[in-house]
Structure formats: C-alpha cells, structure tokens
Chains A and B, each alone.
Chain A
C-alpha cells in the first residue's frame, strides 16, 4: 500500500511538472531581442549609428490594449494591441544616445536620435515638406492615408526646427479610432517622430468602466477582511489570556516573509508591514484552532497547477462563448524576477491564511467548515477579478478558483492552500513577463518545490 501511494505521488509530481511546463512554454512578452535590432536599424536609417547594447524596458497601456481587444474580439484585437495599436511595447535606450519604442510585434512606435552638431542646412517650411513626407512614409505603413494637420517652426540653438502633426484616420484600427504622428526636424535632419492612438470613447469606456466597477467591488471584500482581522485579534487576546499553545516563532518568521514579499509586490491589499503583522498573528494562532484540517504541503503545488490550467481554460471558454476577457495580460509596472515572484506569492501568503485558515476557524462553530469556506469564497472573488463582458463571467471564474482553493484547504490544510495559490498565480502571471527560460524557472519554483516534497522519501506510517 505504501509503495502504491508513493508511486502515485511520483506520477502526480511528473504530471504536475509536465502540465506546468506546458502552461509556461512560449508564454510571455516576446520581441525584446528583435526590438533592439529594429531600433538600431531605424536609427541608422535616420543617419545615426547607436553605440552599445540598448537597455530594454517593457511598458504598455493596459487600458488601450484591452480596449482594442474589446473592439476587435479574438486574435485580431490581440494583434492590434501588439502591433499597429501600439499598446504593448519595448522602450530601448542606447547608452551613447538614441531612444526608440518598438511594439512587441516589431512596429517602430517612436524614435529619437541625438541632435547632430551639423544638422544640415536650415530649410524653409515649404522646402522641408518633401523631406518630412519622405520620413513619414518610412514611419507608417499607409502614408497615403495620412495628412498634415498642423506645422510649426522656430529657431533654437542656431538652427531652424520644424514640427508637423499628421492624422491618419482609423487605418487598421477599429472604426472611430484615430492615429496621430508627430515628427520633429532640425535643420534638414529628422530627429524624432512618435505615434499615438486615440481610442473611441465607448470602446475605452467599456474597459475602464469595468475596471472602475471592479475597483469599487473590491472595497466590500477589504471590509470583509477587516472584520476578519478584528476577529483574529480578539481570538489572539483570548488565547493569550487562556495561555493556549501558540506558534509564535513560526508566526514571526511567516510574517517577515510576507512583509518582504509584499514590499516587492506591485499591488497589495494594505501596506506590506501591516500584512506581515496580520499574517504573523494568524499563523501563530493556527495551533489554537484545532478544527482546521491537517497540513499536507506536498499536494498544494500539484493542485495549484490544476487550478492554473482551469483558470486559463476558463478565460478561453469565455472568449469562445462570445464574451470578452483580456488576452493581453496585465502590464506590470516594473519587470524583474523578484517582481514576478512577489506578485505571485504575496497574495497567497496573505489571503490564504485569512480566507482558508482564520475565517473557517472562527466560523466553524456557527456554520461548519464548508459553510465557512463558502463564506470566504465571495470575499476572495472580489479581491482580484479581471474585467470581463459580462462582468458576471469574471466572478464565476474567480469563484471556481476560490472553491478549488477551499477544496485544497480541506484536503491539504492552510499550508497546502498557500502553496496551491502561489503556484497557480505564478503560472497565470507568467504571461505578463518577457519570454525566456529564466522567467520560466521563476514561475515554476512552486511546482519544483511540490515535486521535491512529493518525491521526498517518507517514513512508513
């Protein structure tokens, strides 16, 4: 029996590794290397040879990307967001001067070269026009659709500067959208140009409206957590008064880890130190709450892989059923392995002990364990949903995740739920960060830990 169980664990570890690798394979923001080459070529075309390797920064306009996806459902919207919509792009800064923005699909979005010491003879505006139009034709795919709407010239630093604003209609973008281009020339040298996109108000509004609604709906969830924290502190006072055995050292360690993770994460429920204190108190009290299921850490990551697969499949289902959910992942404010790690694990470290530990522990005497788990689900649902059309689809998807985590907590305890949530979040959030095996490894940390725990030889019971 023991061997059979161990063999099943080996199989589970292998399966979770295979599924997790399939989930992260090829996901992420592409085009970093290609963007550098394209930017260099474009700057050379402007007559400037950039020096050194550029520093690449990922940046994006999340609302614009989602508005494009909403206006053009399916792969066409995603293509626009990554290409002619210019919503998701790389910024490349060359160490010797010169800067460019290139979309992840390789469209040069903006370009700026250093002002040359000898920019060529100053041109009268009428003579400069043909030079500018040549430059515009190189910057955009359909120059005939663009027209000059305003021009400006001035003298600065001994040279004549010219600036022109072009408007290009909707082009490939959805109807009602507008493209603009601003180009600058000094002397007879084009030094910069930049494209912008003006979305149609209603297309943008559906997305920003949903985001505002979800932001509003997050407040009651925070209130729910606040009420829960009050209950935790009352329970802590009682346990101290009754001299019950608590896990102080474990709580302090857990609180420190949580506070550290929170300080690197892009979005936290409250300030990271406060999260750390709350998590520390909850973990310190766990031995007091004897009705909680026993922790079996090794099953958590495998469950997390399954939950990630369900979440990603759920999004595909919403799109397939005619609804809308963002395909372009949320754009992180900053990229780095630490950010991926913190964004994935901070919610798990804070929310799971509260929703799958403290709430059931306090509510079990009144509504039973499953009743308490069902109470925790709506609170968790409102904390991090993505905007969807209809909005209820987002809640349904989050509810599935929350119920899954409740089941994990029942089977593998609070610790199992923490590992499951962290693993799931890491796999789902992987797409927001650049492609590359280094990032894949960071996303797979939870799965690898789970595999090691599953394969670790255990004593016969």
Chain B
C-alpha cells in the first residue's frame, strides 16, 4: 500500500511539474503591453515633470491603465476640478488635462501653461477677466479660460462581450436556483470563506475607490464620490455575503489531482487573455488581500454558474460532453477578457458537485496569477503575484492534509 501511495505521489508530482512547466513556459504573444511601473511611480513622475498648471492638484484619487501608460487622476478636496495625466511607461511625453465644474468661473492657468496651450512662447500674456471664464491673451491668440484645458488623453478601448456576459449571468441565476432545488450538503468552510473574504474586502474599502476613477467628477467633492463608491461596494459585498449563506457551495474534499490542471489552465488563459483590470488592482498598496478576496468570490461565483450549467446539461451524457466542449471552445475563441471566467465555469461544471467550487477557484486563481504575471511587470507586483499563487497552493495543501488527517483518525482502531 505504501509503495502504491508513493507511486501515486510521484506520478501526481511529476504531472504537476509538467503542467507548471507548460503553463509557465509555453510561449504566448502578449496581447496587451505590460506595465513596467506602478501607478504610484507614474504619479510621482507626473508631479515632478509636468509644469505647474497654476492650480492645486490635490491628492491622487485613482488610476487606470491605458495602452502603454497610466492615466492618473488628482482632485482637491473641494472637488471643483480634476487634473488627469497620462504617463507613458517609457521616456515619452506626459499628456495632461484639466476638467472643471461647468459652473466654475474659469480656473486661472499659469502663464506658462497658457503659452504651452497656445503654442506661442515668448509672447506677452495678458490676463483677461470675463464673466464665467478667465482668459489669456497671448499675442494675437486668445486662450479661453472655459475649461477643459489641456489635451485629449488616450482612452482605453472597450472590451465588452455582451453575449458571453449574458450567458454567464444566466448560468449564475440557473446555478442559484439549482442549489435550492437540488440541495447538497452545504460546505461550512466555503460559507466561512465567503464571509471572511467579504470582511477582508470591507477592511480594504478605503483603498478601493482608486480603481474606479470614473466615480470622481468635476464639481463633485471627492468624499462624496468615495461615499458613492463605498455605498455601492457595501451593497454589492453585502449581497454576496448574503448569497454566500443562501447558496453555499456543496461540501467536498479538494480534488488535489485535478487542481494543478485547473491552475495550469487558468495560468495559460491569463497569459493568453489577461484580465487587464487586474493591473489596476496590482497598483494598490493592499493588493494581496484584495486579490485573494476577489479570487475567492470569483471562484465561488464560478462554482454557482458551474452548478447551473451542470444541471442544465444533466439530461444526457452526450449533451454534457458536447455542451461543455462547445462552451469551453467558445470561451477560448470569443471570450476575450472573459476567457478565464468561462473556463472556470466549464471546469466547475465538468466535475462532480463537491469539487465544482474547488475547480472554479483553481482556474480563477491561475487566471489571476497568469494575468498579473503578463501585465504587471514591476517588481513588487510580481512578488505579490508569486505570494498569491503560493498562498493558494498552501491553503489547498493544508485543507487536503487536514482532511487526510481526519480520515486517518477516524479509521484508526479505538483504544481499549
């Protein structure tokens, strides 16, 4: 028996090593330019290099990755204007822009900024006070103080897949209903996990508005924007916590034989079609707890959608094989930024109920890791990505060993 166990361990270990090598070493052409610096570094560079615009910038409120650079947003506490700058990773030119509240009687730009905007240097600037705006007369050119001032910033292209999204939402609803109609033994550990990560995300809430720069608007004070974001986040997380109690994952041991495969598939999916928004998360100071929280919630949701898909395809074994294969291929072919999620749902549906959430989470975990590895290339983010994946492996190992220990204890003969 011991020899058999050793052989199994060796085969499993070997397969895991091969899968890890495949996931990490298969050459994949990156579809998005990686970020070589963090948003904090980009903000520091902008504050250093952009000439003073004659107005208070305020604090850094948010950022988003656009093309080969970061768009960083500043807003003073009175909220009357927004300063945004697009900072390229390399030595390129920083582009900036000011958006002010429409009712503001024009922000007085500095003379230097007026010269830059009019393209006339060395002229004599004359400040002109107007009703509703503050102008500059530079030579024959007049710069209207009515804002926005500055240039257009590059914008991120939309990566929407409405059909994939609609299918996933439908599967989530089907999964939620199926967990009531076809009840299994609820996993207490999963319930605790969902509650714990929601509480963890609550704790990181003050940092999270930086991920939603569109919340900050000229004329709206930043605390109100943060309140709006915080309220939305609390409602969403509260709903997830509630759903975690009402639609818990089915109890089951971790499928240690399959999890390396899930992790490898997720990593490959992340490298092939990275979740580009994760690079914004990587810019947070508390990125590790946020990543863990999001991964657990996404994995659990993938488990629910997987339950729905499993029940929908239960009527025939052939339909199950064909349906899962088609959905998997469609996810890889057309999923775009949703590839990882689609594969997580398919993986969760492909195994038995007790393993569904584990498999979904395995794929999501790998997808997050692969995405971060591809898009967030500054040192601290890479280290945290590594810690993130090791943390996941460690938790699975502990869960597996604890279960083995429990089974061994229950099987040992009772002492006289």
Chain A residues at the B interface, C-beta cutoff of 8 Å: 178, 198, 201-202, 204-205, 208-209, 212-213, 216-217, 219-221, 223-224, 227, 230-231, 233-234, 237-238, 241, 363, 366, 375, 378-379, 382, 391
Contact = CB atoms under 8 A, between A and B. Distances in A.
B236 A208 contact: no
B165 interface: no
Contact of A208 (B79, B102, B224): B102
A224 B221 CA distance: 22
A232 to B, nearest CB: 12
Contacts of A366: 242, 245-246
Given A205-B101, A220-B228, A220-B229, 11 more contacts: A198-B131, A204-B103, A205-B104, A205-B219, A212-B220, A216-B215, A216-B228, A227-B236, A233-B173, A237-B173, A366-B245
10 contacts: A201-B104, A208-B102, A212-B101, A216-B215, A216-B228, A217-B228, A227-B236, A234-B176, A238-B180, A366-B242
A212 B219 contact: yes
A237 B220 CA distance: 41
Contacts of A213: 220-221, 224
Given A216-B220, A363-B242, A208 B101 contact: yes
A209 B242 contact: no
B177 A237 contact: yes
Given A209-B221, A212-B219, A238 B177 contact: yes
A391 B224 contact: yes
B239 interface: yes
B80 A205 contact: yes
Nearest to B239: A227
A209 B79 contact: yes
Nearest to B78: A209
B232 interface: yes
Contacts of A201: 103-105, 132
Contacts of B180: 238
A366 B232 CA distance: 20
Interface string B210-242: 000001010111001101110110011011001
Contacts of B229: 220
Chain B, interface size category, equals: 20 to 34
**Which of B103, B104, B176, B235 has the most chain A CB within a 10 Å cutoff?**
B103
Contact of A234 (B101, B105, B173): B173
A209 B231 contact: no
A369 to B, nearest CB: 15
Nearest to A67: B103
A426 to B, nearest CB: 29
Contacts of A378: 231
A209 B77 CA distance: 13
Contacts, number: 78
Contacts of A379: 235
B199 to A, nearest CB: 15
A439 to B, nearest CB: 33
Given A209-B79, A209-B103, A216 B235 contact: no
Contact of B177 (A208, A212, A234): A234
A230 B245 CA distance: 16
B232 A220 contact: yes
Given A213-B220, A230-B173, A237-B173, A219 B232 contact: yes
B181 interface: yes
Nearest to B224: A213
A217 B229 CA distance: 8
A348 B335 CA distance: 42
| For the complex of A and B, 10 pairs with smallest distance between CB atoms | A220-B232, A201-B105, A220-B231, A205-B103, A213-B224, A227-B239, A224-B235, A204-B103, A237-B177, A209-B219
**Which of A198, A212, A223 has the most chain B CB within a 10 Å cutoff?**
A212
B132 A208 contact: no
Nearest to A219: B228
Contacts of A234: 173, 176-177
Contacts of B80: 205
Contact of B217 (A178, A212, A221, A363): A212
Contacts of B101: 205, 208-209, 212
B181 A238 contact: yes
A219 B235 CA distance: 11
A87 B356 CA distance: 63
Contacts of A363: 242
A8 to B, nearest CB: 41
B87 to A, nearest CB: 27
A217 B103 contact: no
Given A198-B132, A208-B103, A238-B180, A223 B236 contact: yes
**Which of A227, A233, A366 has the most chain B CB within a 10 Å cutoff?**
A227
A84 to B, nearest CB: 19
A216 B217 contact: yes
**Which of A209, A223, A233 has the most chain B CB within a 10 Å cutoff?**
A209
Nearest to A167: B131
Contacts of B236: 223, 227
Nearest to A365: B246
A178 B131 CA distance: 9
Contacts of B246: 366
A217 B224 contact: yes
**Which of B131, B235, B239 has the most chain A CB within a 10 Å cutoff?**
B235
Nearest to B176: A234
A450 B383 CA distance: 67
Interface string B122-133: 000000000110
A378 B238 CA distance: 13
A216 B215 CA distance: 8
A408 B63 CA distance: 45
Nearest to B232: A220
Given A223-B232, A227-B236, A217 B181 contact: no
A120 to B, nearest CB: 35
Contacts of A217: 224, 227-228, 231
A291 to B, nearest CB: 15
Contacts of B225: 216
